[in-house]
Chain A
């Protein structure tokens, strides 16, 4: 029972990190890409110029840093929890991304969209009641 409790606590902590860093990264990337403009990939010169604009955007680098933090937390949690548990549970990030896109980017989030986010959160709560691991623990050297 104690081991199960420890596993749940550890899983919740890492899912919290995933839920914070992934939406923050996406929002920062969105802000950066809006300043860069639409991607031009039809000629090598245009593609190069676009890549240079992307690489010179501070928001893009902050977004990448945030997504890297998300990726590390994600990799670590997957060493003990099922992918099919972690992936849906991380959908709380939709609420966070809506809040961040409203605060940081000034996007309009309609009541219908908030309803959808609420339904997502209900789904996440259902998923969160299941045990993180449904497969046998791997034995490794």
Chain B
């Protein structure tokens, strides 16, 4: 399977999965009690949310794509390359989760992306 297809699956399925899981978590609300029984109740609530299942399915697809990519390339190359999902994730957070992104946070995300690009360029 071409590496570009694997990279596409890692980014799109991974980001989509994280956004779905986030939406599921937001419907459950903030966890304030970390006792085992409370955490079990939290898990029981989480698995009843449809977005959680869609998110886990997408993240599973991204995981196996990551495994395939790691069988071909070095970890120090694959992990920075997959950081392309920072841009996709932030845009998705605005469009899908209706989060408000401050200008300062946009600048931070941009700097992170520049750093990731430099790391990517360091590959021979």
Interfacial residues, chain A to chain B (CB-CB below 8 A): 23, 26-27, 29-30, 33-34, 36-39, 41, 54, 67, 75-76, 78-80, 82-85, 87-88, 91, 93-94, 97-98, 100-102, 105, 107, 109-110, 112-113, 115-130, 134-135, 137-140
Q: Which A residues lie within 8 Å of B119 (CB)?
A: 94, 112-113, 116-117, 120
Least CB separation from B107: chain A residue = A126
Give the docked Cα–Cα distance between A22 and B109 (Å).
19
Query: Which residue, A33, A87, A118, A140, has most C-beta atoms of chain B within 10 A?
Result: A87
Give the docked Cα–Cα distance between A98 and B105 (Å).
25
Query: Which residue, A27, A79, A122, A140, has most C-beta atoms of chain B within 10 A?
Result: A79
> Is B68 among interface residues, defined by CB-CB distance under 8 A?
yes
Q: Which A residues lie within 8 Å of B4 (CB)?
A: none
Q: Which A residues lie within 8 Å of B114 (CB)?
A: 119, 123
User: Which one of A30, A38, A80, A124 contacts B75 once the chains associate, using CB atoms below 8 Å?
Assistant: A30
Q: How many residues of B contact A (CB 8 A)?
A: 56
Q: Which B residues lie within 8 Å of A117 (CB)?
A: 115, 119
Q: Which A residues lie within 8 Å of B46 (CB)?
A: 75
**Contact of B86 with A91 in the complex, beta carbons under 8 Å:** yes
Say yes or no: A87-B28 contact (C-beta < 8 A), given A94-B79, A107-B76, A127-B112. no
> Is B44 among interface residues, defined by CB-CB distance under 8 A?
no
**Contact of A39 with B71 in the complex, beta carbons under 8 Å:** yes
**Contact of B107 with A135 in the complex, beta carbons under 8 Å:** no
> Is B1 among interface residues, defined by CB-CB distance under 8 A?
yes
Say yes or no: A39-B19 contact (C-beta < 8 A), given A26-B75, A84-B93, A107-B74. no
